[in-house]
Structure 1
Amino acid sequence: MKFIRLATIAALSTTILAGGATAAFADEVREVTTEGQIQFVADEDGELVVIPPVTEPGVIIPPVVEPVTGPLSIVQAPTMNFGTQVISNQDQTYNMVAEMARLANPAENGPTEVPYVSFAQVQDVRGTNAGWDLQVSLSDFRSSTQNNILTGAEIELVDSTIQYEGTNSDNAPAAHAAGLTLLPNGAARPVMTAAEGKGAGASSVVWGDQASLTAQFEAEGFDPETDVVENSAIQLSIPGSTAKDATTYTSTLTWELTSTPGDDA
Protein backbone atom coordinates (compact mmCIF):
# COMPACT_ATOMS: atom_id res chain seq x y z
CA MET A 1 0.00 0.00 0.00
CA LYS A 2 2.82 2.35 0.73
CA PHE A 3 4.33 1.65 -2.69
CA ILE A 4 1.10 2.51 -4.50
CA ARG A 5 0.65 5.74 -2.59
CA LEU A 6 4.16 6.94 -3.37
CA ALA A 7 3.82 6.08 -7.06
CA THR A 8 0.65 8.13 -7.32
CA ILE A 9 2.29 11.17 -5.81
CA ALA A 10 5.25 10.89 -8.14
CA ALA A 11 3.05 10.65 -11.21
CA LEU A 12 1.08 13.74 -10.17
CA SER A 13 4.22 15.73 -9.66
CA THR A 14 5.43 14.84 -13.14
CA THR A 15 2.19 16.13 -14.64
CA ILE A 16 2.54 19.51 -12.95
CA LEU A 17 6.09 19.93 -14.23
CA ALA A 18 5.07 19.03 -17.73
CA GLY A 19 2.16 21.48 -17.72
CA GLY A 20 4.40 24.29 -16.51
CA ALA A 21 6.88 23.70 -19.30
CA THR A 22 4.10 23.81 -21.89
CA ALA A 23 2.72 27.22 -20.54
CA ALA A 24 6.11 28.83 -20.86
CA PHE A 25 6.02 28.46 -24.68
CA ALA A 26 2.33 29.40 -25.23
CA ASP A 27 1.28 32.80 -26.87
CA GLU A 28 0.97 35.51 -24.21
CA VAL A 29 -1.91 38.07 -24.31
CA ARG A 30 -0.76 41.39 -22.91
CA GLU A 31 -3.21 43.82 -24.58
CA VAL A 32 -6.85 43.58 -25.68
CA THR A 33 -9.53 46.07 -26.78
CA THR A 34 -13.21 46.07 -25.87
CA GLU A 35 -16.04 48.45 -26.76
CA GLY A 36 -17.97 51.08 -24.79
CA GLN A 37 -21.29 52.39 -26.12
CA ILE A 38 -23.99 54.97 -25.43
CA GLN A 39 -27.05 55.80 -27.52
CA PHE A 40 -28.87 59.15 -27.52
CA VAL A 41 -32.49 59.86 -28.46
CA ALA A 42 -34.37 63.17 -28.65
CA ASP A 43 -36.38 64.04 -25.53
CA GLU A 44 -39.71 65.32 -26.82
CA ASP A 45 -40.92 66.43 -23.37
CA GLY A 46 -37.69 67.40 -21.62
CA GLU A 47 -37.85 70.83 -19.94
CA LEU A 48 -35.31 73.41 -21.18
CA VAL A 49 -33.72 76.19 -19.11
CA VAL A 50 -32.21 79.46 -20.30
CA ILE A 51 -28.40 79.55 -20.51
CA PRO A 52 -27.37 83.22 -20.01
CA PRO A 53 -25.05 84.18 -22.88
CA VAL A 54 -22.83 86.40 -20.69
CA THR A 55 -21.27 84.76 -17.65
CA GLU A 56 -20.63 87.95 -15.66
CA PRO A 57 -22.56 89.05 -13.78
CA GLY A 58 -24.12 85.72 -12.86
CA VAL A 59 -27.86 85.99 -13.39
CA ILE A 60 -30.96 83.83 -13.45
CA ILE A 61 -33.28 84.40 -16.44
CA PRO A 62 -36.57 82.52 -16.69
CA PRO A 63 -37.79 81.17 -20.05
CA VAL A 64 -40.07 83.43 -22.06
CA VAL A 65 -42.76 80.72 -21.69
CA GLU A 66 -42.76 78.30 -18.77
CA PRO A 67 -42.26 75.47 -19.10
CA VAL A 68 -40.36 75.24 -22.39
CA THR A 69 -39.85 71.71 -23.67
CA GLY A 70 -37.62 70.25 -26.38
CA PRO A 71 -36.39 69.17 -28.71
CA LEU A 72 -36.42 72.43 -30.78
CA SER A 73 -37.66 75.55 -28.99
CA ILE A 74 -37.31 79.28 -28.42
CA VAL A 75 -36.41 79.59 -24.75
CA GLN A 76 -35.88 83.36 -24.57
CA ALA A 77 -36.76 86.46 -26.58
CA PRO A 78 -36.42 90.15 -25.63
CA THR A 79 -39.12 92.55 -24.54
CA MET A 80 -38.44 95.98 -26.03
CA ASN A 81 -39.27 99.04 -23.93
CA PHE A 82 -38.22 102.43 -25.29
CA GLY A 83 -39.03 104.37 -22.15
CA THR A 84 -40.95 107.60 -21.54
CA GLN A 85 -40.23 110.31 -24.09
CA VAL A 86 -41.26 113.93 -24.67
CA ILE A 87 -43.56 114.49 -27.68
CA SER A 88 -41.53 115.94 -30.54
CA ASN A 89 -42.31 117.20 -34.04
CA GLN A 90 -38.74 116.31 -35.13
CA ASP A 91 -37.55 112.92 -36.32
CA GLN A 92 -36.35 111.04 -33.28
CA THR A 93 -34.46 107.83 -32.53
CA TYR A 94 -34.72 106.27 -29.08
CA ASN A 95 -32.47 103.65 -27.51
CA MET A 96 -34.11 100.70 -25.83
CA VAL A 97 -34.20 100.62 -22.04
CA ALA A 98 -31.91 97.78 -20.97
CA GLU A 99 -33.68 94.71 -19.67
CA MET A 100 -33.03 93.73 -16.05
CA ALA A 101 -31.97 90.29 -14.85
CA ARG A 102 -32.03 88.81 -11.34
CA LEU A 103 -28.64 88.19 -9.77
CA ALA A 104 -27.97 84.60 -8.77
CA ASN A 105 -25.94 85.67 -5.72
CA PRO A 106 -26.69 89.31 -4.82
CA ALA A 107 -24.41 91.02 -2.32
CA GLU A 108 -25.80 91.98 1.05
CA ASN A 109 -27.44 95.42 0.80
CA GLY A 110 -26.65 95.45 -2.90
CA PRO A 111 -28.96 95.38 -5.94
CA THR A 112 -30.92 92.22 -6.63
CA GLU A 113 -31.23 93.01 -10.35
CA VAL A 114 -28.79 94.39 -12.90
CA PRO A 115 -29.08 95.60 -16.51
CA TYR A 116 -28.41 92.76 -18.92
CA VAL A 117 -27.94 92.33 -22.65
CA SER A 118 -31.03 91.46 -24.66
CA PHE A 119 -30.99 88.14 -26.47
CA ALA A 120 -33.05 85.50 -28.21
CA GLN A 121 -32.06 81.91 -27.53
CA VAL A 122 -32.83 78.72 -29.44
CA GLN A 123 -32.10 75.25 -28.09
CA ASP A 124 -31.89 72.31 -30.51
CA VAL A 125 -31.59 68.88 -28.91
CA ARG A 126 -33.11 66.90 -31.78
CA GLY A 127 -29.81 65.28 -32.63
CA THR A 128 -30.49 65.54 -36.39
CA ASN A 129 -28.30 68.56 -37.30
CA ALA A 130 -31.08 69.58 -39.70
CA GLY A 131 -30.71 73.33 -39.06
CA TRP A 132 -33.34 75.95 -38.21
CA ASP A 133 -34.26 79.61 -38.70
CA LEU A 134 -35.40 82.20 -36.12
CA GLN A 135 -37.42 85.12 -37.48
CA VAL A 136 -39.22 88.11 -35.96
CA SER A 137 -42.00 90.39 -37.16
CA LEU A 138 -43.46 93.60 -35.74
CA SER A 139 -47.00 94.91 -35.47
CA ASP A 140 -48.07 98.58 -35.39
CA PHE A 141 -47.44 100.62 -32.26
CA ARG A 142 -51.03 101.25 -31.16
CA SER A 143 -52.98 103.06 -28.48
CA SER A 144 -56.66 103.50 -27.68
CA THR A 145 -56.59 107.25 -28.27
CA GLN A 146 -57.43 109.43 -31.29
CA ASN A 147 -54.04 109.13 -33.03
CA ASN A 148 -53.87 105.45 -32.34
CA ILE A 149 -51.04 104.37 -34.66
CA LEU A 150 -47.44 105.59 -34.69
CA THR A 151 -47.21 105.81 -38.48
CA GLY A 152 -43.70 105.28 -39.79
CA ALA A 153 -42.28 103.90 -36.56
CA GLU A 154 -39.66 101.19 -37.06
CA ILE A 155 -37.23 99.20 -34.94
CA GLU A 156 -33.59 98.82 -35.96
CA LEU A 157 -31.45 95.96 -34.67
CA VAL A 158 -28.25 97.97 -34.90
CA ASP A 159 -25.74 95.22 -34.22
CA SER A 160 -25.59 91.72 -32.81
CA THR A 161 -23.27 88.89 -31.83
CA ILE A 162 -23.71 85.13 -31.59
CA GLN A 163 -23.05 83.22 -28.38
CA TYR A 164 -22.91 79.49 -29.10
CA GLU A 165 -22.81 77.13 -26.12
CA GLY A 166 -20.88 74.35 -27.83
CA THR A 167 -17.33 73.09 -27.97
CA ASN A 168 -17.25 73.07 -31.78
CA SER A 169 -17.44 76.69 -32.93
CA ASP A 170 -17.94 75.52 -36.53
CA ASN A 171 -21.47 74.50 -35.52
CA ALA A 172 -22.46 78.05 -34.53
CA PRO A 173 -25.41 79.67 -36.39
CA ALA A 174 -25.18 83.02 -38.20
CA ALA A 175 -26.62 86.34 -37.01
CA HIS A 176 -28.47 88.94 -39.06
CA ALA A 177 -26.55 91.71 -40.77
CA ALA A 178 -26.04 94.95 -38.84
CA GLY A 179 -28.80 97.50 -39.25
CA LEU A 180 -31.69 95.07 -39.71
CA THR A 181 -34.96 97.03 -39.79
CA LEU A 182 -38.32 95.76 -38.57
CA LEU A 183 -41.27 97.47 -40.25
CA PRO A 184 -44.74 97.28 -38.67
CA ASN A 185 -46.84 94.66 -40.47
CA GLY A 186 -43.87 93.85 -42.67
CA ALA A 187 -42.49 90.43 -43.49
CA ALA A 188 -40.77 88.44 -40.78
CA ARG A 189 -37.01 88.97 -40.80
CA PRO A 190 -34.43 86.28 -39.96
CA VAL A 191 -32.31 87.20 -36.93
CA MET A 192 -30.41 83.92 -36.39
CA THR A 193 -30.06 81.05 -38.86
CA ALA A 194 -28.47 77.62 -38.52
CA ALA A 195 -27.74 76.03 -41.87
CA GLU A 196 -27.91 72.26 -42.21
CA GLY A 197 -25.22 70.74 -40.02
CA LYS A 198 -25.19 73.68 -37.58
CA GLY A 199 -27.08 74.94 -34.53
CA ALA A 200 -27.13 71.87 -32.29
CA GLY A 201 -27.30 72.79 -28.60
CA ALA A 202 -27.98 76.30 -27.26
CA SER A 203 -27.49 79.39 -29.46
CA SER A 204 -28.14 83.05 -28.64
CA VAL A 205 -28.26 86.15 -30.80
CA VAL A 206 -27.23 88.98 -28.46
CA TRP A 207 -27.92 92.72 -28.68
CA GLY A 208 -25.88 95.02 -26.46
CA ASP A 209 -22.54 95.23 -24.69
CA GLN A 210 -22.61 94.05 -21.09
CA ALA A 211 -19.62 96.16 -20.04
CA SER A 212 -21.32 99.33 -21.32
CA LEU A 213 -24.58 98.53 -19.54
CA THR A 214 -22.76 97.79 -16.28
CA ALA A 215 -20.75 101.02 -16.53
CA GLN A 216 -23.94 103.07 -16.87
CA PHE A 217 -25.51 101.29 -13.90
CA GLU A 218 -22.47 101.77 -11.68
CA ALA A 219 -21.75 105.37 -12.73
CA GLU A 220 -21.52 107.95 -9.97
CA GLY A 221 -24.85 109.64 -9.38
CA PHE A 222 -26.93 106.96 -11.13
CA ASP A 223 -30.26 106.53 -9.36
CA PRO A 224 -32.03 103.25 -10.25
CA GLU A 225 -35.29 104.74 -8.99
CA THR A 226 -35.33 107.54 -11.58
CA ASP A 227 -32.59 106.83 -14.14
CA VAL A 228 -32.49 104.14 -16.84
CA VAL A 229 -29.72 102.22 -18.54
CA GLU A 230 -29.91 102.43 -22.34
CA ASN A 231 -29.10 99.63 -24.77
CA SER A 232 -28.11 101.33 -28.02
CA ALA A 233 -27.99 98.04 -29.96
CA ILE A 234 -31.78 98.24 -30.41
CA GLN A 235 -33.42 101.53 -31.46
CA LEU A 236 -36.89 102.85 -32.28
CA SER A 237 -37.21 105.59 -34.91
CA ILE A 238 -40.36 107.75 -35.22
CA PRO A 239 -40.93 110.52 -37.79
CA GLY A 240 -41.55 114.00 -36.44
CA SER A 241 -44.59 114.29 -38.70
CA THR A 242 -46.36 111.41 -36.91
CA ALA A 243 -49.06 112.63 -34.56
CA LYS A 244 -48.50 111.39 -31.01
CA ASP A 245 -50.95 111.43 -28.15
CA ALA A 246 -49.92 111.64 -24.49
CA THR A 247 -50.37 107.93 -23.84
CA THR A 248 -48.62 104.57 -24.09
CA TYR A 249 -48.28 102.89 -27.49
CA THR A 250 -47.61 99.15 -27.61
CA SER A 251 -46.70 96.70 -30.35
CA THR A 252 -46.25 92.94 -30.60
CA LEU A 253 -43.04 91.22 -31.62
CA THR A 254 -43.72 87.74 -32.98
CA TRP A 255 -40.78 85.33 -32.85
CA GLU A 256 -41.05 82.28 -35.10
CA LEU A 257 -38.75 79.27 -35.26
CA THR A 258 -38.86 77.11 -38.36
CA SER A 259 -37.67 73.52 -38.10
CA THR A 260 -35.34 73.76 -41.11
CA PRO A 261 -33.94 76.84 -42.85
CA GLY A 262 -36.42 78.24 -45.34
CA ASP A 263 -39.26 75.87 -44.46
CA ASP A 264 -42.44 76.50 -42.54
CA ALA A 265 -42.52 75.27 -38.96
Structure 2
Amino acid sequence: MKFIRLATVAALSTTILAGGAIGAFADEEGRNEVREVGSKGVVEFTPATDEDLVVIPPEQGPGGGGPDVDIDTELPGTTGPLSIVKVAHMNFGEQVISNQDKDYNMVAEMQQLSGTTGDENKVPYVSFAQVQDVRGSNEGWNLQVSMSDFTSQSQNNVLTGAEITFNTSRIQYEGNDQTLSPDSHADGLTLSPGTGAVTVMNAPTGKGAGVSSVVWGNQADLNAQFADEEIEVVENDAISLFVPGSTAKDATTYTAQLDWELSNTPGPDAGESI
Protein backbone atom coordinates (compact mmCIF):
# COMPACT_ATOMS: atom_id res chain seq x y z
CA MET A 1 0.00 0.00 0.00
CA LYS A 2 1.29 3.45 -0.83
CA PHE A 3 1.61 5.65 2.20
CA ILE A 4 2.31 9.31 2.47
CA ARG A 5 4.77 11.00 4.76
CA LEU A 6 3.25 12.02 8.04
CA ALA A 7 2.88 15.51 9.45
CA THR A 8 3.95 17.21 12.66
CA VAL A 9 2.45 19.79 14.98
CA ALA A 10 3.65 23.27 14.02
CA ALA A 11 6.66 24.55 15.93
CA LEU A 12 6.39 27.95 17.48
CA SER A 13 8.75 30.66 18.59
CA THR A 14 7.67 33.20 21.14
CA THR A 15 8.83 36.75 21.66
CA ILE A 16 7.52 38.70 24.64
CA LEU A 17 7.92 42.43 24.27
CA ALA A 18 8.64 44.86 27.04
CA GLY A 19 6.05 44.98 29.79
CA GLY A 20 4.04 48.06 30.68
CA ALA A 21 3.32 49.88 33.88
CA ILE A 22 0.36 51.58 35.50
CA GLY A 23 1.14 54.64 37.58
CA ALA A 24 -1.09 56.30 40.16
CA PHE A 25 -0.65 59.90 41.36
CA ALA A 26 -2.59 62.74 42.94
CA ASP A 27 -3.57 65.94 41.15
CA GLU A 28 -3.34 69.45 42.67
CA GLU A 29 -6.61 68.95 44.54
CA GLY A 30 -5.51 65.61 45.98
CA ARG A 31 -7.66 63.40 43.74
CA ASN A 32 -6.10 60.13 42.62
CA GLU A 33 -5.67 59.66 38.85
CA VAL A 34 -4.40 56.65 36.87
CA ARG A 35 -2.27 56.64 33.75
CA GLU A 36 -1.98 53.47 31.63
CA VAL A 37 0.72 52.15 29.29
CA GLY A 38 0.11 49.27 26.84
CA SER A 39 2.42 46.58 25.47
CA LYS A 40 2.15 43.62 23.07
CA GLY A 41 2.53 39.85 23.22
CA VAL A 42 3.65 38.20 19.97
CA VAL A 43 3.90 34.58 18.84
CA GLU A 44 4.99 33.36 15.40
CA PHE A 45 4.13 29.89 14.06
CA THR A 46 6.09 28.08 11.35
CA PRO A 47 5.43 24.70 9.67
CA ALA A 48 7.37 21.94 11.45
CA THR A 49 9.08 18.97 9.83
CA ASP A 50 10.83 17.05 12.59
CA GLU A 51 8.24 15.99 15.20
CA ASP A 52 6.61 12.54 15.11
CA LEU A 53 2.86 12.51 14.56
CA VAL A 54 0.24 10.66 16.57
CA VAL A 55 -3.18 9.37 15.58
CA ILE A 56 -6.09 11.18 17.21
CA PRO A 57 -8.88 8.55 17.42
CA PRO A 58 -12.07 10.22 16.20
CA GLU A 59 -14.88 10.68 18.67
CA GLN A 60 -17.82 8.45 17.99
CA GLY A 61 -20.56 11.07 17.91
CA PRO A 62 -23.76 11.27 20.01
CA GLY A 63 -24.39 8.00 21.86
CA GLY A 64 -21.38 6.35 20.29
CA GLY A 65 -19.55 5.45 23.47
CA GLY A 66 -16.22 4.89 21.78
CA PRO A 67 -13.62 2.98 23.82
CA ASP A 68 -10.30 4.51 24.84
CA VAL A 69 -7.83 3.01 22.35
CA ASP A 70 -4.25 3.46 21.18
CA ILE A 71 -3.78 3.50 17.39
CA ASP A 72 -0.42 3.54 15.64
CA THR A 73 0.34 5.77 12.67
CA GLU A 74 0.76 4.01 9.33
CA LEU A 75 4.48 4.84 9.21
CA PRO A 76 5.73 5.47 12.77
CA GLY A 77 8.54 7.98 13.04
CA THR A 78 7.87 9.88 9.84
CA THR A 79 7.08 13.59 9.71
CA GLY A 80 5.83 16.31 7.41
CA PRO A 81 3.54 19.36 7.47
CA LEU A 82 0.82 17.69 5.31
CA SER A 83 0.40 13.98 5.87
CA ILE A 84 -1.79 10.91 5.83
CA VAL A 85 -1.63 9.64 9.39
CA LYS A 86 -4.06 6.69 9.24
CA VAL A 87 -6.00 4.77 6.58
CA ALA A 88 -8.62 2.02 6.64
CA HIS A 89 -7.65 -1.65 6.33
CA MET A 90 -10.39 -3.79 4.82
CA ASN A 91 -10.92 -7.49 5.48
CA PHE A 92 -14.16 -8.95 4.13
CA GLY A 93 -13.86 -12.21 5.99
CA GLU A 94 -14.32 -15.86 5.08
CA GLN A 95 -17.24 -16.41 2.70
CA VAL A 96 -18.99 -19.43 1.14
CA ILE A 97 -18.67 -19.66 -2.67
CA SER A 98 -21.94 -18.62 -4.29
CA ASN A 99 -23.33 -18.31 -7.83
CA GLN A 100 -25.48 -15.35 -6.72
CA ASP A 101 -24.53 -11.68 -6.53
CA LYS A 102 -23.32 -10.99 -3.00
CA ASP A 103 -22.46 -7.99 -0.83
CA TYR A 104 -20.10 -8.74 2.06
CA ASN A 105 -19.67 -6.30 4.95
CA MET A 106 -16.13 -5.72 6.09
CA VAL A 107 -14.94 -7.25 9.35
CA ALA A 108 -14.60 -4.47 11.92
CA GLU A 109 -11.04 -3.35 12.54
CA MET A 110 -9.73 -4.18 16.01
CA GLN A 111 -7.79 -1.65 18.11
CA GLN A 112 -5.82 -1.96 21.33
CA LEU A 113 -7.39 -0.68 24.53
CA SER A 114 -5.20 2.02 26.05
CA GLY A 115 -2.69 0.75 28.59
CA THR A 116 -3.01 -2.92 27.55
CA THR A 117 -1.24 -5.48 25.39
CA GLY A 118 -2.34 -8.67 23.63
CA ASP A 119 -5.09 -9.49 21.17
CA GLU A 120 -7.45 -10.39 24.01
CA ASN A 121 -7.54 -6.67 24.89
CA LYS A 122 -8.46 -5.46 21.42
CA VAL A 123 -11.94 -4.14 20.65
CA PRO A 124 -13.85 -3.40 17.41
CA TYR A 125 -13.47 0.17 16.26
CA VAL A 126 -14.74 2.34 13.42
CA SER A 127 -12.57 2.56 10.32
CA PHE A 128 -11.18 5.93 9.31
CA ALA A 129 -8.62 7.81 7.27
CA GLN A 130 -6.93 10.77 8.94
CA VAL A 131 -5.08 13.77 7.51
CA GLN A 132 -3.04 16.32 9.46
CA ASP A 133 -2.38 19.69 7.86
CA VAL A 134 -0.05 21.97 9.82
CA ARG A 135 1.32 23.94 6.87
CA GLY A 136 -0.40 27.10 8.09
CA SER A 137 -1.17 28.16 4.52
CA ASN A 138 -4.89 27.25 4.33
CA GLU A 139 -4.40 26.02 0.76
CA GLY A 140 -6.66 22.99 1.13
CA TRP A 141 -5.97 19.39 0.12
CA ASN A 142 -7.55 16.27 -1.39
CA LEU A 143 -7.45 12.62 -0.22
CA GLN A 144 -8.09 9.87 -2.77
CA VAL A 145 -7.94 6.08 -2.88
CA SER A 146 -7.61 3.63 -5.76
CA MET A 147 -7.88 -0.17 -5.91
CA SER A 148 -6.31 -3.02 -7.87
CA ASP A 149 -8.08 -6.25 -8.82
CA PHE A 150 -8.63 -8.86 -6.13
CA THR A 151 -6.21 -11.61 -7.21
CA SER A 152 -4.94 -14.98 -6.06
CA GLN A 153 -2.39 -17.62 -7.11
CA SER A 154 -5.10 -20.08 -8.14
CA GLN A 155 -6.58 -20.97 -11.55
CA ASN A 156 -9.33 -18.33 -11.48
CA ASN A 157 -6.91 -15.75 -10.22
CA VAL A 158 -8.97 -12.55 -10.70
CA LEU A 159 -12.18 -11.80 -8.83
CA THR A 160 -13.75 -10.21 -11.88
CA GLY A 161 -16.27 -7.45 -11.19
CA ALA A 162 -15.48 -7.10 -7.50
CA GLU A 163 -16.05 -3.57 -6.16
CA ILE A 164 -15.77 -1.88 -2.77
CA THR A 165 -18.57 0.49 -1.75
CA PHE A 166 -18.33 3.17 0.93
CA ASN A 167 -21.95 3.10 2.05
CA THR A 168 -21.91 5.88 4.65
CA SER A 169 -19.36 8.23 6.16
CA ARG A 170 -18.97 11.26 8.37
CA ILE A 171 -16.25 13.83 8.99
CA GLN A 172 -14.62 14.27 12.39
CA TYR A 173 -12.84 17.63 12.42
CA GLU A 174 -10.78 18.44 15.49
CA GLY A 175 -10.79 22.22 15.00
CA ASN A 176 -12.87 24.57 17.15
CA ASP A 177 -14.56 26.17 14.13
CA GLN A 178 -16.57 23.41 12.46
CA THR A 179 -17.26 25.62 9.42
CA LEU A 180 -13.63 24.90 8.45
CA SER A 181 -14.28 21.14 8.26
CA PRO A 182 -13.39 19.34 5.00
CA ASP A 183 -16.01 17.57 2.90
CA SER A 184 -16.76 13.84 2.83
CA HIS A 185 -17.74 11.71 -0.15
CA ALA A 186 -21.35 10.97 -1.04
CA ASP A 187 -22.94 7.78 0.31
CA GLY A 188 -22.63 4.84 -2.06
CA LEU A 189 -19.20 5.80 -3.42
CA THR A 190 -17.89 2.83 -5.45
CA LEU A 191 -14.24 1.88 -5.80
CA SER A 192 -13.50 -0.26 -8.86
CA PRO A 193 -10.18 -1.62 -10.18
CA GLY A 194 -8.76 0.08 -13.23
CA THR A 195 -11.01 3.15 -13.08
CA GLY A 196 -8.69 5.48 -11.20
CA ALA A 197 -8.80 7.06 -7.77
CA VAL A 198 -11.89 8.41 -6.02
CA THR A 199 -12.01 11.25 -3.51
CA VAL A 200 -12.97 10.28 0.04
CA MET A 201 -12.20 13.60 1.77
CA ASN A 202 -11.62 17.05 0.29
CA ALA A 203 -10.66 20.34 1.94
CA PRO A 204 -11.46 23.36 -0.23
CA THR A 205 -9.18 26.38 -0.02
CA GLY A 206 -9.44 27.89 3.46
CA LYS A 207 -10.55 24.66 5.12
CA GLY A 208 -9.05 21.49 6.62
CA ALA A 209 -6.25 22.95 8.74
CA GLY A 210 -5.35 20.72 11.69
CA VAL A 211 -6.64 17.15 12.08
CA SER A 212 -9.45 15.73 9.94
CA SER A 213 -10.85 12.19 9.72
CA VAL A 214 -13.34 10.59 7.36
CA VAL A 215 -15.03 7.91 9.46
CA TRP A 216 -16.85 4.74 8.35
CA GLY A 217 -19.01 2.88 10.86
CA ASN A 218 -21.21 3.31 13.91
CA GLN A 219 -19.33 2.67 17.14
CA ALA A 220 -22.49 2.01 19.16
CA ASP A 221 -23.47 -0.76 16.71
CA LEU A 222 -19.99 -2.29 16.87
CA ASN A 223 -20.11 -2.21 20.67
CA ALA A 224 -23.49 -3.96 20.69
CA GLN A 225 -22.29 -6.70 18.33
CA PHE A 226 -19.17 -7.23 20.42
CA ALA A 227 -21.26 -7.62 23.59
CA ASP A 228 -23.54 -10.23 21.94
CA GLU A 229 -22.07 -13.67 22.68
CA GLU A 230 -23.97 -15.18 19.76
CA ILE A 231 -22.16 -12.98 17.22
CA GLU A 232 -18.81 -14.47 16.25
CA VAL A 233 -17.67 -11.82 13.77
CA VAL A 234 -18.31 -8.09 14.31
CA GLU A 235 -19.13 -6.44 10.97
CA ASN A 236 -18.88 -2.82 9.86
CA ASP A 237 -21.63 -2.29 7.29
CA ALA A 238 -20.35 1.16 6.29
CA ILE A 239 -17.95 -0.54 3.84
CA SER A 240 -18.88 -3.57 1.74
CA LEU A 241 -17.51 -5.73 -1.06
CA PHE A 242 -19.70 -6.66 -4.04
CA VAL A 243 -18.87 -9.88 -5.93
CA PRO A 244 -20.94 -10.97 -8.96
CA GLY A 245 -22.43 -14.45 -8.88
CA SER A 246 -21.12 -15.06 -12.41
CA THR A 247 -17.50 -14.63 -11.28
CA ALA A 248 -15.60 -17.91 -10.94
CA LYS A 249 -14.21 -18.21 -7.43
CA ASP A 250 -11.60 -20.66 -6.18
CA ALA A 251 -11.36 -21.86 -2.58
CA THR A 252 -8.49 -19.52 -1.72
CA THR A 253 -7.72 -15.99 -0.53
CA TYR A 254 -8.02 -13.04 -2.92
CA THR A 255 -6.18 -9.81 -2.12
CA ALA A 256 -6.41 -6.28 -3.55
CA GLN A 257 -4.03 -3.34 -3.13
CA LEU A 258 -5.48 -0.02 -1.92
CA ASP A 259 -3.40 3.09 -2.62
CA TRP A 260 -4.16 6.29 -0.70
CA GLU A 261 -2.93 9.56 -2.18
CA LEU A 262 -2.89 13.04 -0.66
CA SER A 263 -2.67 16.12 -2.91
CA ASN A 264 -1.55 19.51 -1.65
CA THR A 265 -4.42 21.39 -3.32
CA PRO A 266 -8.17 20.70 -3.21
CA GLY A 267 -10.28 19.02 -5.87
CA PRO A 268 -10.39 15.41 -7.12
CA ASP A 269 -8.09 16.08 -10.06
CA ALA A 270 -5.97 18.93 -8.72
CA GLY A 271 -2.71 19.14 -6.91
CA GLU A 272 0.65 17.52 -6.62
CA SER A 273 0.95 14.27 -4.67
CA ILE A 274 2.70 14.62 -1.34
Q: TM range, normalised to the smaller chain?
A: 0.7 to 0.9
CA contact (8 A) 1:46 1:71 kept: no
Tell me the residue number matched to 2:28: 25
TM-score, normalised via structure 2 length: 0.83
Correspondence for 1:91 among 101, 109, 126: 101
Tell me the residue number matched to 2:48: 43
Pair 1:63-2:68 in alignment: no
Tell me the residue number matched to 1:245: 250
Q: Distance in 2 between matches of 1:179 and 1:68?
A: 33
Tell me the residue number matched to 2:204: 195
Tell me the residue number matched to 1:142: 151
More helix per residue: 1
Unaligned runs of 5+ in 2: 1-24, 61-65
**Count of equivalent residues:** 239
Q: Distance in 1 between matches of 2:244 and 2:127?
A: 25
Shift of 1:101: 0.4
- 5 Å matches for 1:1-265? 24-25=27-28, 28-54=33-59, 56-105=66-115, 111-222=120-231, 227-261=232-266, 262-265=270-273
Task: Tell me the secondary structure at the aligned position of residue 37 of structure 1.
Answer: strand
AA in 2 matched with 1:256:
E
User: Percent sequence identity over matched residues?
Assistant: 58
CA contact (8 A) 1:45 1:71 kept: no
Task: Tell me the secondary structure at the aligned position of residue 132 of structure 2.
Answer: strand
Q: Distance in 2 between matches of 1:95 and 1:76?
A: 21
Shift of 1:228: 1.1
Tell me the residue number matched to 1:3: none
Shift of 1:185: 1.7
Shift of 1:23: 6.3
Q: Distance in 2 between matches of 1:116 and 1:255?
A: 20
CA RMSD of aligned residues (A): 2.1
Runs of 4+ aligned residues of structure 1 deviating over 4 Å after TM superposition are none
Unaligned runs of 5+ in 1: 1-21
CA contact (8 A) 2:155 2:250 kept: yes
Q: Distance in 2 between matches of 1:154 and 1:148?
A: 16
More strand per residue: 2
Q: Distance in 2 between matches of 1:44 and 1:260?
A: 19
Deviation by residue 1:238-259 (Cα, 9 ceiling, x = unmatched)? 0000000110000000000000
Q: Distance in 1 between matches of 2:59 and 2:230?
A: 26
